[in-house]
Amino acid sequence: MDTSVLKVSHLKKLIQKKLIIEDVSFDIQAGEIVGFLGPNGSGKTTTLRMIVGLSTPTSGDVEICGYSLKKEFVKAMSNVGCIIEGPDLYDYMSGYRNLELLASMSKDVTKKDIDEAVALVGMENRIHDKVAVYSMGMKQRIGLAQALIHKPRLLILDEPTNGLDPQGIHEFREIVKNLAREKNISVLISSHLISEVQLMCDRVSIINNGRIIRSASIDDALVTGEVVWTLDDPQKAQLLLKSTFKVEAAIAGHTLRATVDPERLSEINNTLIASGFDITYVEHKKRTLEDLFLSLTDKHTI
C-alpha cells in the first residue's frame, strides 16, 4: 500500500511545443522534509506550480494523501499549505486579523485552529501587533501560520528564508523541523540556500533540464566513497585491498586512503579485522550538498 503524502508521477509539461518538464517523479512520506533544488531554468518553479495546481501538466499526475490533483482537486488541495513567492499580508492589519481574514474563507477553520497555528510558529507575544511593524522573519512566521491554520498534512515552501537574517533563518529552520518531528507534517522546500537544505532536510531531489537527476537521502547523497583508515600496518593492508577487492589505496603515515563502493565497506572492514589489523579509526569522507549540486548541474546559480 502506497503511504506517500505527496506522489509526483511522470510529470511532463510542454509550453509552446517546447518540452519544459520531462518525466519528473518523486514522493514524500509522512513527517519527511524534502529539499527540491535546481539551477535557474531547470524546471523547478514549473514543477512546484504544477504540484500546487497553478499550472496544468501536459501529462502525468500529482497525488496528495491519495487524492489525484486531476480527478479530486479540492480534496487533494485541502491537505496542502503553501508559501509561494512570499506571504500575502495586509500591513495595516494585525497578524491575528490577517489570519482571521483567511480563516473566514473556510467554514472549517476555528479560532482554536488559528491559536494553535500561532503557537506553532512562536508568535503569541506579537500576534496582535500590526504587520507593518513586523520584521521579515515575523512576516514569514505569519505566512507559515496561514499555511497551517487548516491543519494540512503537506507544506510546500518556496524560498521561505529569502530576506531573513541568520537568526531568522535558524529560527525558521527549527520551526519547520519541529512541525515534521512533532506534528508529522511533510514538507517540500525549495531554496537557494543549499547549506540550509542540507541542515533542514531528510532527503533531496535535484532537477536539471526538466528531469530529476538525483534523489536520495541527505546522508546517502553526501557520501563520496572515499575512506581513510588509521591502522597498524598500512603497507600490508594496501596489498590486501588490492589482492582481495581490486581496490587501489594510497598510504600516508599510518593511514590508508581509498575510494570504495559504500555497499562493500562493511565487508572490507570485516576482512581487515579478521586479518588481524588493529584499526584505530575509520573516516568516511563526505562532500557538502553544494559540492554535489555543482558537480551534477555544472552551474553556479540556482
**Where do the domains of the chain lie, and which CATH numbers do they carry?**
4-221 (3.40.50.300), 225-286 (3.30.70)
pLDDT of 299 reads: 56
CA distance 187 to 201: 9
pLDDT of 77 reads: 95
pLDDT of 261 reads: 86
Residues of the chain with pLDDT under 50: 300-302
For 102, the grid coordinates are 483567511
Q: To which residue does cell 515575523 refer?
A: 138
Phi, then psi, of 109 in degrees rounded to 5: -90, 125
CA distance 242 to 249: 8
CA distance 89 to 99: 9
pLDDT of 1 reads: 63
Contacts of residue 28, defined as CB under 8 A and 6 or more positions apart, other chains included, come to 4, 5, 6, 34, 154, 186, 187, 188
Average pLDDT of the chain to the nearest whole number: 93
CA distance 174 to 179: 9
3-state secondary structure of 284: strand
96 contacts 118 by C-beta, under 8 angstroms: yes
CA distance 207 to 53: 19
